[in-house]
């Protein structure tokens, strides 16, 4: 099943067409890659799907077993409800909150209380909080961050912050996650670990991963399918091998094997 | 040691203990007259300004929204209390709750403004709104009694009249205690986290399903409620409400309270209220220089700047971070929490 | 004897603003009061005792004023409150003073409420409502005005004033002399009187009453000059001093308009009457200007001491209150100060003065006799 | 040309660097490698004056520059391009570049410099009037590098210049680094992409938890088995 | 003559409005360089004005031929030193604190500066002359040459600031410092000097504004209370990121104030004017001329 479908999306900034009549589909349960040169429009695609931008044209269809939702009809804070969550290209954590609280914010839509129940600790409050906390600790354990639970998010090194952002996304109980350059700033061996982690997440949490990445090692290693874009338009879609072999992609994005 | 474990494990413990100790002192004072009457009045003022500061801190410290018009809400609460108790004779409890709820509605309106405006623009626009409301107080003589001011008497609960200031101090402290508990619960649950998330990153908060509209409105509504409630206590405590009390200066004082005491902290709110109520009075009493014109203003200003210079995270937060926490961790052999400088 | 009195001293308290924006009232006011007490003490005191004044700054905040009054009564245990300054503070602490029963003599406030607070309150300064009434009377009888315009400061002062003017005209049956459109307010710290002056001008009045304190009033006189308003102006007794005229700087800003300026007065401000005050100020506060507030403070002292001098028996609150009720004090700066049981009007005799110029110096010269409404 | 003599540095109580000794000769490209949090950025911060060392001294061309204000150090000819695309978000691309030329503002020909830069990064030329903050991640990174180049440094320190850049552009960046080096600019380079970094460097230092654990000729290090295993990832 | 009355109100409003504009420009300058909202700008201007007034009186008494010019120059010199000192003593030591912390520092400054002014200069009001005295009558209207002087001054200062910020290297350095002073330093910008310089400039602008305002308010410790608030609102209305904004905003407030005061009500003047401005702001949340910050995730 195609869990996510982008149909003829166009997004302009003034005269600049950042995304240009772009269409592609993401298979449920896959790891799907979106690549392209700097400024090709990848982050803009993510921002449009999660409703931070209003594309001028197109549809974004999210499919569940028995339903089809056009995300463009909703506001950005409603998207998480449908099981779609994202990370940001420039890590966006809640810096002055603890690592654990960052995780709990991820559970926001799943904790059903209101401020009167919370303020007066009316019945039912404690259970919901505790469930969320347990789950957060589980995920932190899975990511190897358990020890840091009570520390400030902002004082964590970059690598931890990236993992935490990933953990926070998992807290929303997503069916599909959008990751914008998860490997940026990591060295090769760290990237290797990330590859393993992403596959594990896909399997254990039973979700679809849709990622933007410039690290070709990672992309080629783990992606089931890739779409390459340039100037907001699709150049080609295919398996990693097909993409690597494509002369257009070579020319626009990868560059030849010429020496320095 | 055991006490300290208790402190650390039961989060309410320090508030309960603090309240009980404070109330006992006031009780003793009631018997033997420990404090001067002026001290009691100042303490009452610290108590209701603590509620103001907690409300303002929910808005500024937790939700990251600024308002320089909240003095008007406090005035509104105070006038409502005078108006209700003079015209309808409702009891203490319904009166203070109404005096919080009605400003809360106006708080929501301010929240709608805040949806469009940000930072400095929001600050100055709310400052303007506050001044506007202050002028309305002057003109609506039927409601406020104009420049003659509104007068009222101390409250009565179940036939007991709180005419003695010490009795009233106990009552006010108890209300503060309830406010602290409510706030504490709130900020450590979904709502509180959503507010802080909104403060730290708009975008990530939305991506996690937090509606900025809803939580901005909650932040403004709650803070207006608290401030209105405190205004009600003001009215009962001072028994007189005058229109020139509710201007920009008081709003700026509220801002100073939470920043000087410590943002996003209940203890900081109370500390800040204490600072802004007590420091100007203390410097007035300094023996040698007390006679110099305006020395109270000059020294208060200096004290504010010195706090920012040496404790930029606020007095309470600074102590918590530099003294109390290291102390706990040493005594209880916890891992050092780290954190950055 | 009552609290605050021992063999050598009578301790009294006062609360008023001496810092911040309103300090321009409190500073000279307390200098006047202290100058008077110093004079009395230097001459051997009253009833064999010196007077000691405990003075507190309330920063013009009614809540602080109430605190200070409470403290003075219960912690400092003063014999009397003398010359409490500032309407909001006076009103916020009135309940407290009434409950205590302590004599409170003279208020630096023209609020009407003071006349009804109780037997232990002894207001002296004319209240603004009364002054307004009297202004109306002068306007009609002395200035023969038929079309009055009023500019008033939109606060407690000005609103009481306009209320008095209305009442006064109504009592005389002459409401038609004041058109509603000719009653024009301004903010106390207004800096642009264009709109106000224009509104005055379209009324084409034959007289303008300016019920504003000195800061705004000085700007209004200048605006009158600029806009060519050439009718008599009458302003409140609060502006009845030379320092107000100095602020206007008439020779530069209002050489014509200044001659239209009149002021109400409740004090005897001729040279002879002012001599004791001038001498005392020369001695104790040689660097200070003497203005209407200095005089008010001085009268506060005079009134309190007059009550003491008139007292028979122990120095107790009851005896003092009785003494005040019998008082007929005519030796001071004010024309006459007297109280009867139940009557707390304060001074009711006022006169109109007008600005005169002599060798480039401007001062007020009494124009009418003292008169009651 | 640059010499770090026994540098130790702290953030509060956190020890970031201990006893760092490091030298860069004129005309060299020197790489600084190490895992996340090893202290690479901190080393650059010490040199550029953002972080004052607790012990030790920094010398540049025989001048002691320890503890100087960063802007004074810039006057000496050292330019530090910090990590994480720290461009000025509400300045336009052109203005960002203009501020890069602050050091050479008195010389009249800094405008010509702009043309060179646009040759290196044609994208920026298209986006001249766009606000920096609205550029894509990679465009911002290019702008940050370009801004540093505007200052005509004698010693250029780059902190993870390839972050978030497309593979093609990464290659371009390394070409540019080589080119300006050949024009006489000395380079100190911090990179996660260790293979590339070692390829263009003359020498390299490897940091681990604030200490230098290896140093030497870049080629030797690249072929050192231990180094390979620890820092160069699975593909080598 | 109805149109004359209307015009008269507008003229009066333009004069007062350009006073607000003058006062606002200094606030905006400091905001642009350091993100600091200087709540003490008005009080600092008041203090400078007192010094200016003192110079004026002394030099007039000493028989100096052009006492006003002496006072003007004295104002510039004094305020430059004053701005330098304030920056050095209060602002720089607290430069590491948060934006809110910095706001509190300027609140503290209000108390210190206003308090000291009261202690040093006393509490009385004094007369200060206009730069150009007198007025001209046109029909029933009066027009003050002084108002042209004030408007001219406001526009000149606005243009100079606009040019400086927009086109000069120093201006770009100022804006860079505001956004990220660490990186600005890495580009060689002497950020401390930049900040000190802007405080000096802003304080000098405050002194000029105070000198121009004084004839309309008298010289006293409370002279800036109302003007200061209105100048802030003018700046926000016009847009805090532009220099044209505060001038237009100031003029709008000045004119509107008079028109509402004349045609509607003096009692409700403030409520109506502010209410109207806030409604404008809701539709133009970054002011009439403010730059809308573009955010990208
Ligand atoms: N808010 C905006 N205003 C104007 N232009 C924008 C805005 N957001 C993005 N752009 C432009 O749109 C284009 C696409 O940007 P986008 O961030 O989607 O690129 P990207 O593919 O994610 O690139 P990178 O790999 O460098 O992150 C860029 O050229 C960018 O400058
Ligand atoms: N501002 C700071 N406050 C506290 N600790 C810091 C700060 N910056 C860095 N550190 C700590 O100093 C150490 C060295 O950090 P540094 O940034 O120099 O590492 P790095 O080698 O550049 O790592 P990366 O590859 O992640 O950029 C780390 O332990 C880090 O956590
Ligand atoms: Mg991107
Ligand atoms: Mg680094």
Q: What is the pLDDT of residues C325-350, one digit of tens each?
A: 988 888 888 878 888 888 888 888 89
| pLDDT tens string B99-148 | 999 999 999 998 898 888 888 899 999 999 999 999 999 999 899 988 88
The pLDDT of residue E33: 79
The token pair at C268 is 């005897």
Is residue B53 in some structural domain?
yes
The range of the structural domain enclosing residue E192 comes to: 2-223
* Pairwise CB contact (< 8 Å): B124 & E97: no
Q: How far is the CA of D2 from the centre of ligand 4 (A)?
A: 20
Among the atoms of ligand 2, which is closest to the Cα of residue D42?
Answer: 18
By the CB < 8 Å criterion, does E137 face chain D? Answer: no
Buried b (16+ CB within 10 A) or exposed e, D146-157: bbbbbbbbbbbb
CATH number of the structural domain A2-83+174-254: 3.40.50.300
Contact D91, E175 (CB under 8 A): yes
Residue E187 lies in a domain: yes
Cα gap B166→C134, rounded to integer Å: 46
Q: Answer whether D41 contacts ligand 2 (Cβ < 6 A).
A: yes
- Number of domains, chain E: 1
Give the residues across from C179 on adjacent strands. none
Atom 18 of ligand 1, residue of closest alpha carbon:
A41
Instruction: Pick the ligand that lies closest to the CA of residue A45.
Output: 1
Is A158 a pocket residue for ligand 2 (Cβ < 6 Å)? yes
Provide the chain C residues 19-78 that lie in CB contact (below 8 A) with chain B. Answer: 19-20, 23, 27, 57, 59-63, 66-68, 70-71, 74-75
Strand blocks (E) in chain C: 9-16, 50-57, 80-85, 104-108, 121-122, 148-153, 178-186, 207-211, 233-235, 261-265, 328-329, 337-338, 351-358, 361-366
Give domain status of residue B287, yes or no.
Answer: yes
Q: Does D11 contact chain B (CB < 8 Å)? A: yes
Per-residue DSSP letter, A98:
B
**Which pair of tokens denotes residue E32?**
């642009």
Residue B54 vs residues B13, B50, B190, E179: alpha-carbon distances, Å = 19, 6, 18, 31
Q: What part of B 65-124 touches C (C-beta under 8 Å)? A: none
**pLDDT per residue over B267-315, tens digit each?**
999 999 999 999 888 887 776 665 677 888 888 899 999 999 999 999 9
Residue of C23, C198, C227 lying closest to E123 (CB–CB): C23
Mean residue pLDDT across chain B: 86
E186 interfaces chain D, CB cutoff of 8 Å: yes
- What is the C-alpha to C-alpha distance for residues C223 and C230, in angstroms, rounded to an integer? 11
Joined tokens for residue A190: 């760290």
- Write down the domain spans for chain A: 2-83+174-254
Give the DSSP H/E element, type plus range, for residue C200.
helix C194-203
| Structure letter (DSSP) for residue B326 | H
Chain B residue with Cα closest to C62: B242
Q: Give bridge partners of residue A176 from the DSSP assignment.
A: A84, A208
User: Cα(D84) to centroid of ligand 3, in Å?
Assistant: 13
Q: Is the CB of D38 under 6 A from ligand 2?
A: yes
What count of Cα atoms within 13 Å lies in the side-chain half-sphere of residue C287?
A: 3
Residue B76 domain flag = yes
Cβ neighbours of residue D173 closer than 8 Å, sequence gap 6 or more = D145, D161, D162, D165
Please give the angle made by the CA atoms of C204, C207 and C212, to the nearest 5 degrees: 110
Name residues whose C-beta falls within 8 Å of residue B157's C-beta, 6 or more positions apart in sequence. Answer: B91, B92, B93, B171
| Burial zone of B207 (CB within 10 Å; 0-12 exposed, 13-18 middle, 19+ buried) | buried
Residue among E93, E96, E271 minimizing CB distance to B136:
E271
Q: Do β-strands D186-190 and D203-208 pair in parallel, antiparallel, or remain unpaired?
A: unpaired
State the distance from the centre of ligand 3 to the C-alpha of D140, rounded, in angstroms. Answer: 10
Distance from CA of B229 to the nearest CA of A (A): 16
> Would you state the torsion angle of the CA atoms of residues C210, C214, C219, C222, taken in this order, to the nearest 10 degrees?
70
Q: Is E154 part of any domain?
A: yes
Query: Which residue of chain B comes nearest to E239, CA vs CA?
Result: B121
Host domain of residue B238? 2-331
Q: Is the CB of D39 under 6 A from ligand 2?
A: yes
B97 belongs to a structural domain: yes
Sequence-distant (6+) residues with CB within 8 A of B162 are B154, B155, B156, B168, B171, B236
Task: Show which subunits contact D, needing at least 3 CB pairs below 8 angstroms.
Answer: A, B, E
Neighbours of chain A (3+ CB pairs under 8 A): B, D, E
pLDDT average, residue stretch B225-239: 94
Helices and strands (H, E) in chain D, number of each type: 10, 10
**Distance between E185 CA and the closest CA of chain D, angstroms:** 5
> Confidence band (pLDDT; 50, 70, 90) for A121?
confident
* Ligand nearest to the CA of residue D192, numbered in listed order: 2
The answer to whether the beta carbons of residues E45 and E210 sit under 8 Å apart is: yes
> Probe ligand 2: pick from D38, D82, D164, max atoms within 8 Å of CB?
D38
Q: Number of structural domains, chain B?
A: 1
Answer yes or no: is B338 within a domain. no
Pair C168, C137: CB distance under 8 Å: yes
Residue B326 lies inside a defined structural domain of this protein = yes
- Which of C75, C92, C113 is closest, CB to CB, to B238? C92
CATH value at residue B93: 1.10.3470
Q: What is the pLDDT of residues C355-367, one digit of tens each?
A: 998 888 888 888 9
List all residues 6 or more positions away from B131 whose beta carbon is below 8 Å from its beta carbon.
Answer: B69, B247, B248, E229, E270, E274
pLDDT in tens, chain C (373 residues): 789 899 999 999 999 998 877 888 898 999 999 999 999 999 998 999 999 999 999 888 888 899 899 989 988 899 999 999 988 899 889 988 998 999 999 998 878 888 888 889 999 988 899 999 999 999 999 999 999 999 999 988 899 999 999 999 999 999 899 999 999 999 998 989 999 999 999 999 999 999 999 899 999 999 999 888 999 999 999 888 888 888 898 888 888 999 999 999 888 777 788 889 999 999 999 988 888 889 999 999 999 999 999 988 889 999 999 999 988 888 888 878 888 888 888 888 899 999 998 888 888 888 988 888 8
Which residues line the pocket of ligand 1, CB cutoff 6 A?
Answer: A 13, 16, 18, 36, 38-44, 89; D 127, 130, 134-139; E 294, 296
- Prediction ipTM score: 0.91
Residue E295 maps to a domain:
no
Ligand 1 probe mutation, E291, E292, E293, E294, most atoms within 8 A of CB: E294
Ligand 2 centroid–CA D163 distance in Å is 17
A179 CA to middle of ligand 1, Å?
A: 16
Each residue's pLDDT tens digit, D109-144: 777 888 888 888 888 888 888 889 889 888 999 999
Q: Do D231 and A192 touch (CB under 8 A)?
A: no
Closest-CA distance of chain D to residue B255, Å: 28
Residue of chain A whose alpha carbon sits nearest to that of E297: A88
Residue of A nearest to D201 (CA): A260
Chain E positions in Cβ-Cβ contact with residue A47 (cut-off 8 Å): 297
Closest CA to A87 of D137, B82, B71, D191: D137
């Amino acid at each position: 099943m195609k869990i996510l479908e982008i149909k003829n999306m166009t997004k302009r900034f003034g005269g600049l067409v950042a995304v240009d009549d772009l269409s592609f589909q993401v298979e449920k349960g896959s790891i799907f890659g979106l690549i392209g040169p700097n400024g090709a429009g990848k982050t803009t695609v993510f921002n449009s799907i999660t409703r931070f931008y209003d594309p001028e044209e197109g549809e974004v269809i999210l499919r569940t077993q028995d339903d089809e939702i056009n995300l463009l009809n909703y506001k950005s804070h409603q998207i998480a409800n449908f099981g779609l969550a994202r990370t940001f290209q420039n890590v966006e954590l809640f810096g002055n909150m603890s690592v654990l609280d960052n995780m709990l914010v991820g559970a926001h839509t799943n904790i059903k209380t209101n401020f009167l129940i919370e303020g007066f600790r009316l019945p039912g409050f404690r259970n919901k909080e505790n469930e969320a906390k347990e789950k957060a600790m589980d995920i932190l354990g899975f990511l190897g961050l358990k020890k840091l639970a009570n520390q400030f998010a902002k004082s964590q090194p970059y690598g931890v912050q990236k993992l935490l952002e990933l953990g926070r996304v998992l807290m929303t109980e997503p069916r599909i996650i959008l990751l914008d350059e998860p490997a940026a700033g990591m060295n090769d061996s760290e990237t290797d670990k990330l590859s393993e982690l992403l596959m594990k997440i896909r399997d254990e949490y039973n979700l679809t991963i849709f990622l933007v990445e410039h690290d070709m090692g990672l992309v080629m290693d783990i992606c089931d399918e890739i779409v390459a874009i340039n100037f907001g338009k699709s150049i080609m879609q295919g398996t990693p091998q097909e993409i690597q072999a494509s002369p257009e992609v070579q020319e626009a994005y990868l560059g030849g094997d010429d020496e320095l | 040691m055991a006490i300290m474990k208790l402190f650390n494990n039961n989060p309410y413990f320090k508030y309960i203990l603090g309240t009980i100790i404070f109330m006992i002192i006031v009780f003793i004072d009631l018997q033997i007259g420990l404090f001067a009457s002026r001290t009691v009045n100042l303490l009452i003022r610290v108590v209701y300004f603590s509620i103001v500061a907690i409300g303002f801190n929910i808005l500024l410290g937790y939700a990251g929204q600024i308002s320089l018009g909240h003095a008007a809400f406090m005035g509104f609460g105070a006038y409502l209390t005078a108006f209700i108790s003079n015209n309808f004779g409702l009891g203490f409890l319904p009166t203070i709750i109404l005096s919080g709820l009605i400003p809360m509605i106006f708080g929501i309106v301010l929240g709608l403004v805040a949806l469009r405006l940000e930072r400095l623009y929001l600050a100055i626009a709310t400052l303007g709104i506050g001044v506007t409301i202050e002028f309305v107080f002057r003109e609506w003589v039927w409601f406020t009694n104009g420049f003659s001011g509104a007068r009222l008497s101390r409250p009565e609960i179940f036939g007991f009249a709180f005419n003695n200031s010490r009795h009233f101090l106990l009552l006010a402290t108890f209300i503060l205690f309830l406010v602290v508990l409510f706030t504490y619960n709130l900020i450590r649950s979904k709502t509180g986290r959503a507010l802080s998330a909104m403060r730290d990153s708009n975008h990530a908060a939305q991506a996690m399903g937090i509606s900025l509209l809803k939580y901005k409105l909650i932040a403004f509504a709650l803070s207006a409620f608290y401030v209105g409630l405190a205004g009600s206590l003001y009215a009962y405590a001072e028994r007189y409400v005058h229109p020139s009390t509710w201007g920009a200066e008081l709003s700026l004082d509220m801002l100073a309270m939470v920043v000087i005491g410590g943002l996003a902290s209940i203890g900081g709110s109370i500390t800040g209220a204490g600072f802004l109520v007590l420091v100007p009075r203390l410097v007035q009493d300094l023996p040698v220089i007390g006679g110099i014109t305006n020395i109270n203003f000059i020294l208060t200003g200096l004290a504010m700047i010195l706090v920012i210079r040496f404790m930029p995270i606020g007095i309470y937060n600074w102590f918590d971070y530099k003294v109390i926490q290291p102390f706990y961790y040493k005594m209880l052999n916890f891992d050092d929490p780290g954190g950055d400088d | 004897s009552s609290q605050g009195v021992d063999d050598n001293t009578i301790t009294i308290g006062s609360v008023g603003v001496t810092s911040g924006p309103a300090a321009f009232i409190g500073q000279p006011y307390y200098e006047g009061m202290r100058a008077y007490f110093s004079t009395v003490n230097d001459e051997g005191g009253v009833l064999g005792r010196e007077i000691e004044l405990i003075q507190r700054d309330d920063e013009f905040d009614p809540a602080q004023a109430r605190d200070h009054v409470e403290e003075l009564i219960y912690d400092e245990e003063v014999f009397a409150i003398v010359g409490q300054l500032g309407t909001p503070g006076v009103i916020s602490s009135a309940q407290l003073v009434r409950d205590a029963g302590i004599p409170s003599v003279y208020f630096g406030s023209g609020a009407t409420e003071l006349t009804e607070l109780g037997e232990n309150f002894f207001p002296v300064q004319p209240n603004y409502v009364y002054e307004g009434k009297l202004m109306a009377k002068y306007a009609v009888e002395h200035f023969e005005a038929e079309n009055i315009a009023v500019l008033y400061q939109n606060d407690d002062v000005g609103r009481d004033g306009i209320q008095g003017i209305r009442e006064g005209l109504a009592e005389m049956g002459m409401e038609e002399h004041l058109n509603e459109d000719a009653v024009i307010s301004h903010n106390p710290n207004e800096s642009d009187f264009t709109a106000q002056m224009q509104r005055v001008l379209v009324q084409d009045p034959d007289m303008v009453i300016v019920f504003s304190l000195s800061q705004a009033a000085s700007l209004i006189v200048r605006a009158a000059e600029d806009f060519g308003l050439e009718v008599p102006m009458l302003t409140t007794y609060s502006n009845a001093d030379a320092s107000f005229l100095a602020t206007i700087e008439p020779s530069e800003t209002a050489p014509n308009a200044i001659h239209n300026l009149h002021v109400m007065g409740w004090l005897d401000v001729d040279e002879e009457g002012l001599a004791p005050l001038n001498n005392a100020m020369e001695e104790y506060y040689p660097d200070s200007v003497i203005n209407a507030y200095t005089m008010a403070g001085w009268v506060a002292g005079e009134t309190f001491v007059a009550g003491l001098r008139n007292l028979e028996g122990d120095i107790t609150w009851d005896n003092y209150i009785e003494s005040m009720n019998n008082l007929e004090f005519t030796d001071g700066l004010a024309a006459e100060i007297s109280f009867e049981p139940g009557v707390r009007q304060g001074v009711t005799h006022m006169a109109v003065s007008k600005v005169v110029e002599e060798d480039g110096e401007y001062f007020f010269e009494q124009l009418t006799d003292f008169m009651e409404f | 040309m640059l010499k770090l003599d026994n540098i130790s540095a702290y953030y509060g109580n956190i020890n970031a660097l201990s006893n760092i000794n490091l030298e860069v000769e004129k005309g060299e490209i020197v790489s600084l490698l190490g895992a996340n949090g090893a202290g690479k950025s901190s080393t650059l911060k010490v040199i550029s004056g953002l972080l004052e060392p607790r012990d030790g001294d920094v010398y540049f061309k025989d001048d002691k520059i320890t503890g100087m204000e960063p802007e004074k150090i810039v006057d000496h000819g050292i330019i530090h391009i910090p990590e994480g695309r720290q461009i000025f978000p509400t300045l336009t691309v052109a203005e960002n570049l203009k501020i890069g030329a602050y050091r050479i503002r008195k010389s009249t020909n800094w405008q010509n410099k702009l043309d060179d830069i646009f040759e290196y990064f044609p994208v920026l030329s298209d986006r001249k009037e766009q606000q920096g903050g609205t550029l894509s991640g990679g465009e911002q990174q290019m702008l940050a590098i370009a801004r540093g180049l505007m200052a005509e440094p004698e010693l250029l320190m780059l902190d993870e210049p390839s972050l978030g850049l497309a593979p093609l552009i990464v290659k371009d960046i390394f070409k540019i680094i080589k080119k300006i080096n050949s024009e006489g600019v000395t380079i100190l380079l911090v990179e996660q992409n260790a293979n590339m970094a070692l390829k263009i460097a003359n020498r390299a230092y490897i940091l681990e938890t604030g200490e230098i654990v290896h140093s030497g000729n870049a080629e030797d290090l690249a072929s050192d088995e231990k180094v390979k295993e620890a820092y160069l990832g699975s593909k080598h | 003559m109805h149109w004359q009355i209307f015009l008269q109100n507008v003229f009066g409003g333009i004069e007062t409005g350009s006073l607000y504009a003058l006062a606002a420009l200094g606030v905006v300058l400091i905001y642009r360089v350091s993100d600091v909202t200087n709540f003490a700008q008005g009080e600092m201007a008041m203090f400078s004005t007192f010094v200016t007034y003192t110079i004026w009186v002394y030099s007039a008494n000493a028989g100096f031929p052009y006492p006003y010019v002496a006072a003007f120059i004295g104002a510039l010199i004094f305020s430059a030193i004053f701005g330098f000192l304030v920056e050095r003593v209060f602002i720089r030591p607290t430069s590491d604190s948060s934006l809110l912390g910095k706001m509190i520092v300027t609140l503290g400054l209000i108390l210190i500066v206003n308090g000291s002014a009261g202690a040093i200069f006393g509490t009385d009001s004094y007369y200060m002359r206009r730069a150009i005295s007198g007025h001209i009558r046109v029909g029933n209207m009066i027009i003050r040459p002084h108002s042209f002087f004030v408007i001219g001054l406001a526009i000149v200062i606005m243009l100079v600031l606009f040019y400086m910020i927009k086109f000069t290297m120093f201006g770009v350095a100022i804006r860079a410092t505001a956004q990220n002073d660490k990186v600005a330093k890495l580009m060689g910008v002497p950020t401390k000097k930049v900040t000190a310089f802007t405080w000096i400039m802003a304080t000098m602008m405050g002194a000029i504004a105070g000198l121009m305002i004084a004839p309309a308010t008298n010289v006293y410790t409370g002279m800036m209370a109302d003007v200061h608030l209105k100048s802030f609102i003018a700046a926000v209305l016009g847009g805090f990121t532009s220099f044209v904004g505060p001038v237009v905003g100031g003029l709008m407030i000045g004119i509107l104030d008079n028109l509402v005061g004349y045609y509607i009500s003096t009692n409700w003047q403030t409520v109506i004017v502010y209410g109207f401005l806030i409604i404008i702001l809701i539709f133009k949340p970054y002011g009439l001329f403010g730059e809308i910050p573009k955010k990208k995730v």
